[in-house]
Amino acid sequence: MAVTQRYGDGHRILVSGGAGFVPSHTVDALLARGCEVVAIDNFITGSRDNVAHLADEPRFTLIEADLADGLPPLPGRFDAILHMASPASPTDFAKLPLEILKVGSIGTMALLDRAVDDAARFLMASTSEAYGDPLVHPQPESYWGNVNPNGIRSVYDESKRFSEAATMAYHRFHGLDTAIVRIFNTYGPRMRPDDGRAIPAFINQALRDLPLTVHGSGAQTRSITYVDDLVRGILLLLDSTETGPINCGTEHELSMLELAELIIRLTDSESKIEMVERPSDDPEKRRPDLTLAREKLGYEPRVGPEEGLRKTIEFFAK
């Protein structure tokens, strides 16, 4: 199914967390279409560097604000609101638990209220973490998940699950035009080098010829998605009339050991692999069932692991 572009010239879009890794790439894609974009970020994990190239772009506005305090006054109407704000890495779960819970609850409700006021399409960026440590593989959207509600990861898992519930409640109660995307493990330029995720950690270690620290046995898997593929999927969902949730990612499933070995090869590193203790609640497997994304959006990932990792390595090497 082909999706017709719905947002472009003349449309005004609000992006929460707009200076973050994935949101900043989404901002770029929206601006490339001719949209006017307003980004909100409190810079807890986002970076002004990610949007510094837009300093002279008249259609871009960056506002420093914390959605945990509610939505600041924003004049004018928005045609669409993309809620993408949240710390999202394993190190954030321990360091920023309350911030994660607040942006997923207070922040979500504030943006939903604004979407109702503006009659805007509301797109919620959810996560594969909604499936927890899945007992079904690959994970279809119909799977309700296997989430530990009080583990170390629960602040992120449950804040996103609450956000999904709130989004659907506004859709049913207010008739709000909504969409939910479940994002699988994404990588690429503008990732934080110290955010605790495997790819930036492995790349930084490999570039310095340090041991690559692989958790546990390294048999646990992730399906890694290059950021350009993810952003294209998000905009396909935005343009569509689908409510979701819809998975967005790739089927490039790699074990953490395979990923480490691949990064050593691509960096031509002298690094060895070192096994370290595995974090609690670390999911065993992750791979999206992309049937809905293909059928409803015409989505197909294009960037393979080697191509995407080479681009990411080049970014970190700089």
Which positions are catalytic? 156
Of 186, 167, 211, give the one whose Cα is nearest residue 89.
186
Tens digit of pLDDT for each residue in 121-160?
A: 999 999 999 999 999 999 999 999 999 999 999 999 999 9
Helix (H, G, I), strand (E, B) or coil at 112: helix
In a domain, 158, yes or no: yes
Q: How far apart are CA 260 and CA 263, in angstroms?
A: 5
**pTM summary value:** 0.96
Q: How far apart are CA 241 and CA 220, in angstroms?
A: 35
> Quick one: pLDDT at residue 279?
82
In a domain, 266, yes or no: no
| Structural domains counted in the chain | 1
Angle, alpha carbons 113-115-119 (nearest 5°)? 125
Domain that holds residue 103: 12-187+226-251+284-302
Give the chain's length.
318
End-to-end CA, the chain: 40
> Quick one: pLDDT at residue 283?
85
- What is the DSSP secondary structure assignment for residue 288, as one 8-state letter? B
Beta strands in 115-169 (DSSP E): 121-127
Query: Largest alpha-carbon pair distance within the chain?
Result: 58
In a domain, 166, yes or no: yes
* Domain CATH for 50: 3.40.50.720
Element counts in the chain: helices (H) and strands (E) = 10, 13
Ranges of residues in the chain with a pLDDT under 70 are: none
> Quick one: pLDDT at residue 154?
94
> Quick one: pLDDT at residue 290?
98
For 2, the token pair is: 């082909």
In a domain, 115, yes or no: yes
In a domain, 154, yes or no: yes
Q: How far apart are CA 24 and CA 62, in angstroms?
A: 11
Beta bridge partners of 155: none
In a domain, 99, yes or no: yes
In a domain, 216, yes or no: no
